[in-house]
Structure 1
Amino acid sequence: MKRLNLWTAALLLMLCAGMAHAELTIEITKGSDQAIPIAIVPMEGGDELPQEVSRIVSNDLERSGRFEPLSQNSLISRPSSSDDVYYQDWQQLDSDYLVVGKVKNQGGQYRIQYELLDVNGEDRMLGEVVTSSRDQLRDSAHYISDQIFEEITGIRGAFSTSIAYVTANGVGDNIKYTLNIADADGHNNQEILSSDEPIMSPAWSPDGRKLAYVSFETGRPSIYVQNLSTGQRVQLTSFEGINGAPAWSPDGRKLAMSLSKDGQPEIYVMDLGSRDLTRLTHSDAIDTEPEWAPNGRSLIFTSDRSGNPQIYRYNLGDEQAQRITFTGSYNSRGRFNPDGDAIFMVTRDDDGFHIARQDLDTDRMTVLTDSNWDESPSVAPNGTMVIFATQEGTRGVLGAVSDDGSASFRLPSPQGDVREPAWSPFLD
């Protein structure tokens, strides 16, 4: 139990370093050398909007790591429709794509017309009219970003998704913890739960309507599920010892978790309809951090049964667990990409803890980050980015890195630390 207590203490210390609640801000830290150049012309009439749609679209595409928007100063003209575009001018700027549009206020509703143009092919790829209220302008901009991203890359955009994260306010014995959700770019944050005790491990249900998480509000860790639209909460577990690391099955009917009610932490699965528990692992080691494979046929989890934390895969068919990480002496918190052919994880080397990707077909591991205290990776629903918690000086911030490590950005809070990020599924 000494080993278990050390793990628990470490997790609590990572949460308890003077945190505060505030809206997150984007800071691009590394751009990809292979990013696609794209020109996004400010929309005609956009200056009158409370939210500048063109700027939001530009920021979305830039932080994806796949695009490099041209600076506003380099734009040689400002057309608002494809009829006004002289393609040769934009070809001289080496811009592969061009986005133009206009906005009209129609009785309090905004009519946003945008077009995506192929500069080299001199072709109109996409055109659409989006109607938006004043309060929905950011949502509409994210929607436009999603359409542009998918049209060019063939990958569904994830700009209209959300993130959950934990913050706290205060120091010492006077810390107020909050569970928050925000847009994927850190804006429009909402407080979901506030507590005087730690909150950990938020996990989205597959339909994006609920969050499972761990709360210490009863004096010991318990797993809760909260409905985001109604605020209704249900306490699922409150066993003695560890109740942690909830993970939803792909169909939303089960929740995997780590419980120590029978001694050492083991992996269990709860049927949410009947509340029946099934124990999957039986070892003398610490088994924790379960994650379902996208097809629902297996789970991965972290275990120190080999002497150090490594990632294992449990096959629900033959009920056998096999080790799948062998590079390095420490690998934990495995998270699948949407295709199920790779996992992202925390790995450790002489410089510290980093986010890494391992292809499951080849077992090849690639370290994606160069910071030295990274933890809690969570994968975007389209698999192109990974969000994680890290340190910036003495405070905790959220970081994000592309799936190949070529681009990254930070989401710090201007007033303190943030931890425990979880990227939502697609929300439509």
Structure 2
Amino acid sequence: MSVHFRLITLITVIFASMNLFAQLQVEVKDGAVAEYNMAVSPMHVLDGADAAHAAEISSAIEKVLDITGYFKILDKKSFLEKPEVAFKAVNFKSWLDVGANGLIKGTIKGKDDVELELAFFDVAKGKALVQKKYSSKANMAKKSAYRFAAEVIKLLTGEEMNFMFSKIAFVEKTGEKYSLVVTNFDGSGRKELYSTSKTILSPEWSADGQKIFFTSHEKNHAGLYSYDLKSSQIKTVSAYEGLNASASAYPDNKTIALCLSKDGNSEIYSLDTTTNELKRLTVNAEIDTAPSVSPDGKDIVFVSGRSGNPQIYKMSLTDLNKVERLTEQGNYNQDPEYSPDGTKVAFSGRDEKYQFDLFIIDLASRQISRITQNQGKNEFPTFSPDSKVIGFSSNRSGKSKLFLSNVSGTKQIAVYSCEGEVLMPSWSPAENN
């Protein structure tokens, strides 16, 4: 294909896209996103459907749209039109009057076998742009709503998001009890996998999402274990003398990076979990810890005290002598994590007020953006599988809770809390949707 032909094709595609999205795109003004006003009407409940289930589905759509930071979800109390109004009979003026740019309406039928019909309307144009029907068991209807929300997001922003088809693992600490817990991305569906009076640290998913690695002092030293989500079996992964911690999965689904102190101070190793072959990656008189493997398996980022204070470094896994420091500001930076798209690294750093906040490094430009500020202690950032959302632990309202933030930091919401503390979240790979 000639350069000239490629250029003409590109121009054609660009203008086609501009024409499609001209009235819909979320606006950016002075570098800030101007939120798109979205009305999500309560579901119209038909033929024996459960009203509480209908409300849950409506709420699920709102949560997905809200966390992106692109949408302002309008208050239902302001709505002038009743949910039972048919799609073809929508009074668009009544929605313009409450400030809606877009409208989502839906109907739900059935209790055990559910039929959903969902539609997204451009209010100014007065027409439906997305209209879908879904049939599923009741417990899968929420996923149908997520698929619909993802399609609306793609239409309005051009971005593909799948964070809603994933789970988050974390540690609950309540009194003297530690629990390894998994929830859906929004904090729903809590499942306790393992609990003990011994410390649990640093849960991390395997590349295929079928196992969770974690460190526990169950045998009176910090051993590394794996929990199999299918069999519920716990296996010892590494039990060297001293510290065995901070697993990070390679994309081959068999190798992990981890921290061991068997030879003295903490160093980073790779471990083939099928053959138990161990390879030392760092050699330094100071502590090296908290590795995060890049999505392509070619690099790691990690924390090292080699410059005097904990800082974030990047190292090539094909040339272990190729090491570069990523953070120059701050005297205590920790918890680095690669984004699944490989373009960013999130970390927590201690600021001038001795509080930990979240930051993101753009690996192409090396620019660092701040995600949290003056909001208590914020730690343990973890990226969603689409790299669009960050989960983290924050004590801004008292005890540490699980929070989500879009990557610009403009939208932050608490999604899960317990009687104790929520610590060290880890986001799973995306599930099949």
Q: TM-score range by the shorter chain?
A: 0.7 to 0.9
Aligned partner of 2:365 in structure 1 is 362
Task: State the Cα distance separating 1:412 from its structure 2 match.
Answer: 4.6
Task: State the Cα distance separating 1:64 from its structure 2 match.
Answer: 3.1
Aligned partner of 1:44 in structure 2 is 44
User: Is the Cα contact below 8 Å between 2:67 and 2:406 reproduced in 1?
Assistant: no
State how far apart, in whole Å, the 1-side matches of 2:392 and 2:117 are.
35
Give, as a single letter, the amino acid of the residue that structure 1 aligns with 2:429: P
Unpaired segments ≥5 residues, structure 1 = 1-31
Deviations 1:368-404 (A, max 9, x none): 1122422111111122221111224652222222211
1:385 pairs with 2:362: no
Aligned partner of 1:22 in structure 2 is none
1:167 pairs with 2:172: yes
User: Structure 1 residues 74, 207: CA separation in 2 closer, same or farther (over 3 Å shift)?
Assistant: same
Deviations 1:309-360 (A, max 9, x none): 1111111222222212112222221112232222111112112110011112
User: Is the Cα contact below 8 Å between 1:369 and 1:401 reproduced in 2?
Assistant: no
User: Is the Cα contact below 8 Å between 2:67 and 2:404 reproduced in 1?
Assistant: no
Aligned partner of 1:71 in structure 2 is 75
Task: State the Cα distance separating 1:55 from its structure 2 match.
Answer: 2.3
Give, as a single letter, the amino acid of the residue that structure 1 aligns with 2:227: Q
Give, as a single letter, the amino acid of the residue that structure 2 aligns with 1:297: K
Aligned partner of 1:419 in structure 2 is 423
1:114 pairs with 2:118: yes
Unpaired segments ≥5 residues, structure 2 = 1-31
3-state SS of 2:337 partner = strand
1:251-262 alignment runs, 5 A limit: 251-262=252-263
RMSD: 2.0
Task: State the Cα distance separating 1:37 from its structure 2 match.
Answer: 1.0
Task: State the Cα distance separating 1:144 from its structure 2 match.
Answer: 3.3
3-state SS of 1:395 partner = coil
Task: State the Cα distance separating 1:224 from its structure 2 match.
Answer: 1.0
3-state SS of 1:73 partner = helix
State how far apart, in whole Å, the 1-side matches of 2:397 and 2:135 are.
43
Give, as a single letter, the amino acid of the residue that structure 1 aligns with 2:177: K
User: Is the Cα contact below 8 Å between 1:243 and 1:259 reproduced in 2?
Assistant: yes
User: Is the Cα contact below 8 Å between 1:145 and 1:159 reproduced in 2?
Assistant: no
Higher relative contact order (CA 8 A, sep 6+): 1
Aligned partner of 1:349 in structure 2 is 351
Aligned partner of 1:3 in structure 2 is none
Give, as a single letter, the amino acid of the residue that structure 1 aligns with 2:173: A
TM-score, normalising length from structure 2? 0.85
TM-score, normalising length from structure 1? 0.86
Give, as a single letter, the amino acid of the residue that structure 2 aligns with 1:214: T
1:62 pairs with 2:63: no
Q: Which moved more, 1:89-98 or 1:157-166?
A: 89-98
1:93 pairs with 2:83: no
Equivalent residue in structure 2 for 1:148, among 131, 139, 152:
152
1:401-416 alignment runs, 5 A limit: 401-416=405-420
User: Structure 1 residues 145, 406: CA separation in 2 closer, same or farther (over 3 Å shift)?
Assistant: same
Give, as a single letter, the amino acid of the residue that structure 2 aligns with 1:136: M
State how far apart, in whole Å, the 1-side matches of 2:411 and 2:59 are.
20
Equivalent residue in structure 2 for 1:335, among 327, 334, 337:
337
Q: Which moved more, 1:86-95 or 1:49-58?
A: 86-95
Task: State the Cα distance separating 1:89 from its structure 2 match.
Answer: 3.6
State how far apart, in whole Å, the 2-side matches of 1:344 and 1:208 are.
21
Deviations 1:265-305 (A, max 9, x none): 11101112211011111101111111111221111111010
State how far apart, in whole Å, the 2-side matches of 1:402 and 1:252 are.
28
Identical-pair percentage? 28
State how far apart, in whole Å, the 2-side matches of 1:216 and 1:326 are.
34
Aligned partner of 1:133 in structure 2 is 137
State how far apart, in whole Å, the 1-side matches of 2:216 and 2:132 are.
45
Give, as a single letter, the amino acid of the residue that structure 2 aligns with 1:234: K
State how far apart, in whole Å, the 2-side matches of 1:110 and 1:161 are.
22
State how far apart, in whole Å, the 2-side matches of 1:41 and 1:338 are.
34
State how far apart, in whole Å, the 2-side matches of 1:286 and 1:395 are.
30
User: Structure 1 residues 149, 45: CA separation in 2 closer, same or farther (over 3 Å shift)?
Assistant: same
3-state SS of 1:264 partner = coil
3-state SS of 1:149 partner = helix
User: Structure 1 residues 89, 338: CA separation in 2 closer, same or farther (over 3 Å shift)?
Assistant: same
State how far apart, in whole Å, the 1-side matches of 2:191 and 2:52 are.
20
User: Is the Cα contact below 8 Å between 1:82 and 1:117 reproduced in 2?
Assistant: no
Indicate the structure (1 or 2) with the bigger Cα radius of gyration.
Answer: 2
User: Is the Cα contact below 8 Å between 1:41 and 1:100 reproduced in 2?
Assistant: yes
User: Is the Cα contact below 8 Å between 2:214 and 2:225 reproduced in 1?
Assistant: yes
Figure out how many residues of one structure are paired with residues of the other and give that number. Answer: 392
Aligned partner of 1:246 in structure 2 is 247
- Which 4+ residue blocks in structure 1 deviate beyond 6 angstroms? none
User: Is the Cα contact below 8 Å between 1:264 and 1:284 reproduced in 2?
Assistant: yes
State how far apart, in whole Å, the 2-side matches of 1:414 and 1:336 are.
28
Aligned partner of 1:5 in structure 2 is none
